[in-house]
Structure formats: C-alpha cells, structure tokens
Structure 1
C-alpha cells in the first residue's frame, strides 16, 4: 500500500490500478528527469560563484567541464532518490492520468 505523509494513500493505490504499467514507468522516468533538472539548476547556482584555481585552472574549458560535471552529479543525485520531488511529481502525474482516464490497463483513450 502506497503511503502519503506516513498514512495509507488509498486514492493513489486506486489510481495506480487505473493507469497502465507502461504509463506508470513513463511517469516515473519523467518525474525523475524533472527532479534531475531541478537539482541541476540548484547545483549550477551553487557553483556559479566558484572561481579560481581548480583542476583545470580558470579557463574557458573549466566552465564547460564544470557544467558537464554538475549535470552528471544531478542525474546521479536524482537517481539515488534526490530531494523527494520526483515522488510527489510521480504521484501527481498518476492521479491526473487516472482522473482523465487516459490509460486504462494498456488501452489508450
């Protein structure tokens, strides 16, 4: 039984029964990607003011390297559980799908 704020979430459990497993997987991926983008934005702002000597000095390449590093950190952080945004986004996506009736056990509406 899924829980919401440490209580059984009967609405979410019912919604999961109405949404096809393929759409559940897609919603999970989208929620995780959304959290990854949010974390990337957070990490980018944190590193924005970092200047000076690093492994590559203070060159143009440092900015490119740092952005790629932050992107990978963000993806890893989100995949490991992140800050909890993905779980809420996933719940919202599933609840909306069930309400609209867009995917009911493998059939598209």
Structure 2
C-alpha cells in the first residue's frame, strides 16, 4: 500500500511551487481555499433561476454556470477577496512555526 504525504503547503500546487518560499506557498494555498469558499457562496445565486430563463437549460448550461462561478470566485480571491485568505495564511504560518 502506498501512502501519500500531503501538507497544506503541497495541496493544489503545480511545478511552479518549487521556486516559491514557504510564505508564498501559504499565500497561494490560502487564496485557493478562499476561492473555493467564495465559489460555494456564489453557486447559490443560480439556484432560484429557472433553466428556461437563460439558455433553455440542459447539461451545457449547468456546466457553464459552474465554470462561470469558479472563474468569478478565483478572480475575487486573487484581487483581494473577502479577507479570508489573510486569516488562513496567518494560521498556516503560525502552524508552520509551531512545528519547528
């Protein structure tokens, strides 16, 4: 059985993470988490809209809505967000200092 070791600093980071400092990695992970949180909040916007109103419904419209809210959420998080990333980053840095 193979086990994978993951930390908050390794989740969701690509090849570019090799050159990042721990503080930059923490910021990136915090922004990703904030983006996911905002996405969940924004996805509720479309629950009350009928499928017939916009583009006649269907799987493609559901997919488009999901991609659109994900893009909105990422853009909001990267442009300052709602302040959640700052608090998450502070906690991640604090946890890293405790482990040392």
In structure 2, C-alpha distance between the alignment counterparts of 1:46 and 1:72, rounded to whole Å: 14
SS of structure 2 residue aligned to 1:70: helix
Runs of 4+ in 1 over 6 A off after TM superposition: none
| Aligned counterpart, 2:67 | 68
Greater RCO, CA 8 A, separation 6+: 1
TM-score with structure 1 setting the length: 0.68
Residues matched between the structures, number: 80
TM-score with structure 2 setting the length: 0.74
Map 1:11-50 to 2 at 5 A: 22-50=21-49
SS of structure 1 residue aligned to 2:24: helix
Q: Which 5+ residue runs of structure 2 have no aligned equivalent? A: 1-19
| Aligned counterpart, 2:99 | 100
Bigger proportion of residues as strand: 1
Greater C-alpha Rg: 1
| Aligned counterpart, 1:15 | none
In structure 2, C-alpha distance between the alignment counterparts of 1:36 and 1:89, rounded to whole Å: 12
Query: Aligned-residue CA RMSD in angstroms?
Result: 1.3
